[in-house]
Structure 1
C-alpha cells in the first residue's frame, strides 16, 4: 500500500500598504523622550520624571520642579477627600484660579459637601446640621444664579435622604465613587498648569485625540485603511494572552 504526502503551504499574510507606510515612519529617541517627560511632568509624577530624566540623560525643567510637587499634593488631597486642604493649597499657588473659574470652585465645594454628608450620615442618629450649614453658606448662593449648579446641589443634597444605603440610584451612587474625585482633580491640575502659562494637558493626550480623529475622518471618506489600527501603546498580555491597546490614562 502506497502512502502519499500532502504538503500544505502556509501563505504569508501580506501587510497592508498603509501599515507599511506607518512602519517606515520612525520617531527619534529624542522625540519619544520629550513626549514621555512632558506626560510625567504634566500629569504630576515627580519621582518618575526624575528617574526618567536620569536614565534618558535629560535635564528636568527647573521652573517646573516646585510646581509639580504642589500639584501632586493638591491631587492627593482631592483623591483622599480632603477638599479643604486642596482648596487652601490651590489658593496658595494662585488665589485667582478659583475666583476666575466659578464652575471649578463649585465642583470642589460640592465634593466638600459630599464628604460632610458621608460623615453626617455615617450612623443612623448622626447630626446633619454641619452639612446643611455648609450647603446654605457655600453652595446655595452660587446655585441661586446658575441652573446647572442648582441641579447638582439638589442631587447632592438628596444623599441626606438615602444615606446610609447600599442600594442608591445610579446618579447618587456616582457621587460617592472615586471617579468624581479624579475628574475634579484632573480639572484642577489643568487649571494650575494653565495659570502657570503651561499646556493644560500632556501632549500625548492631544496626539491620541488627533490620531483618532484622523482615522475616523479617513474611514468616513472611504480611504483604504486596515480593519484595525492599534495605537501602539501596548501593555502586558492579559489573562487570555492578548496584547491590549492601552489608551493613555
Structure 2
C-alpha cells in the first residue's frame, strides 16, 4: 500500500514539474514571438509582392511608422491607384485613410491589404494581449504552440506557431479563420539584427490554401521619433501627407 501511495505521489510531483516547465516555456516563447515582430520608433520601407509561380505579378510599396507595439501606421506609396492611403493600428483596432475623399474610417483587421497580406500582418497586434497560449508538442527543437484569440477584434481565431527553440526564431505560422478553417501559412524566411541590438523579422512568404504566394519584406530602416498626433484617427491624414 505504501509503495502504491509513493508511486502516486511521485507521479503527481512529476506531472506538476512538467506543467510548470511547459508554462515557463510558453511564457518565454510568447515574449520571443512578440519581440521578433516589434519595431519601436522605426521608420521602415515595406514591399509586398504577389507571385505567380516564380514570377512577380503585382507589387505594393510604402512606409511603416512603428511607434510601439500598440500604435503603428503604414502609408502606401505605390501602386499609383493606392498611393496616399494609410492604415492606423491602435491595439487590435484598425483605421484606414482614403486621400480621394479625405476621410478616415474603421476597417476590419481581417480585410486584405494586398494579395494575401492583411493590414494586421504588417502592423501585428501583440500575442500576449490578445491570445492565450497552449503547448502542443516539440520535435527536433521545433516547439509547436497554439495561440487562441481572447477577443473578436483580432483577425484570426487561432495561430499555430512553429518556434525553433535553438535559434529562438519563428519557423512558420498557420492562420485560422473564426470558423476554424486554415486560411494561409506564413513562412518566416529572414531575420536581421537592427541598431537596437535586437533580432527582427524582415521577410515572410505567405502561402494561401489555394497555393498563391505573397512576399512581405521590410527593407531600409532607421530610428525615428514620431509625433503622437499622427497616431489617432483624426491625425492619420497628417501622417499620410507628411510621409
Query: The TM-score by the shorter chain falls in which range?
Result: under 0.3
Larger radius of gyration: 1
More strand by share: 2
TM-score between both structures, scaled by the size of structure 1: 0.22
